Amino acid sequence: MTTTLEKLERLDEPILIDGMSWREFKAVEQLLDRPGIRLSFLDGVLEIRRMPGEKHETIKERIGSLLDLYLLLVGIDYQPTGSMTLESPSRLVKREADKSYKLGANRERPDLVVEVVVTSGGINKLEAYKRLQISEVWFWENGRLRLYALSEDGYAEVDRSCVLPDLDIVLLVRCINIENHLQAMREFRAAIQSA
């Protein structure tokens, strides 16, 4: 059988399996606990996704490096929690962000999660994070950063971070898009220190 380019591209799309109970999901999760696979769950829908490639990982790490630098330079106590598994059996949800951060000491859950989107489809990530009570969610897609802040009515898109209100989002996006990592870090640091 010949694999076409179209079929190769579809390998990055998630597989969705509907109609599962939380108990069934947990059983499948144990069976599929292997490198290279990421599972999410929301309202009876299991999402199976291959781990992302270099483009995704490069952007994810750039965002993380810039955020770490910002938090260090402005003196915010934080804990990077990476792609920590977040789940709530009672709310029928499990999700792993690409990056997550607890801002401040003794935080129960991350205040900020970052998702780098290079493929489409899958479960409703904002609904999953709403059930997990994550204060802010950032989506990076096609060179653009979209910020969503949680309120009583759910998430609303915002222009400025609510959890990091002094962060210059335009500067952050510009530096994420710089091709050279060292140059991006230097420009970001210089702009923050001169502000």
Structure tokens belonging to residue 64 = 């993380």
CA–CA gap between residue 162 and residue 149 (Å, rounded): 7
pLDDT of residue 127: 94
Strand partners, 87: 94
List per-residue pLDDT tens for the chain, 195 residues long. Answer: 323 323 333 446 788 889 999 999 888 888 887 777 788 888 888 888 887 778 888 999 999 999 999 999 999 999 999 888 888 888 989 898 999 999 998 899 999 999 998 777 788 999 999 999 999 999 999 999 999 999 999 999 999 999 999 999 999 999 999 999 999 999 999 999 997
Q: What is the pLDDT of residue 130?
A: 95
CA-CA distances (angstroms) from residue 16 to 49, 123, 134, 150, 186? 9, 8, 24, 26, 42
Domain assignment present for 25: no
- 92-105 b/e with 16+ CB inside 10 Å = b? bbbbbbbbbbbbee
In a domain, 20, yes or no: no
Tokens found for residue 26: 């947990």
Residue 22's alpha-carbon distances to 32, 58, 92, in angstroms, are 15, 33, 6
Angle among Cα 13, 86, 23 to the nearest 5 degrees reads 80
Asked whether the beta carbons of 97 and 86 are under 8 A apart, the reply is: yes
Does some domain include residue 9? no
27 occurs within a structural domain = no
40 occurs within a structural domain: no
In a domain? residue 75: yes
Specify the pLDDT at position 115.
93
**Domain-embedded: residue 33:** no
Instruction: Tell me whether residue 12 is in a domain.
Output: no
176 vs 19: CA distance, rounded Å = 39
**In angstroms, rounded to a whole number, what is the distance separating the alpha carbons of residues 41 and 26?**
10
Could you tell me the two tokens for 19? 């109609």
List the beta bridge partners of residue 150.
155
Task: Indicate whether this model's pTM tops 0.85.
Answer: no
Q: For the chain, what is the domain count?
A: 1
- CATH number of the structural domain spanning residue 105: 3.90.1570.20
Q: Which structure tokens are listed for 141?
A: 């897609």
Residue type present at position 71: L
What domain range includes position 122?
52-194
Cβ partners under 8 Å of residue 179, min gap 6: none
Task: Report in angstroms the alpha-carbon separations of 44 from 31, 49, 53, 86, 92.
Answer: 17, 16, 27, 16, 7
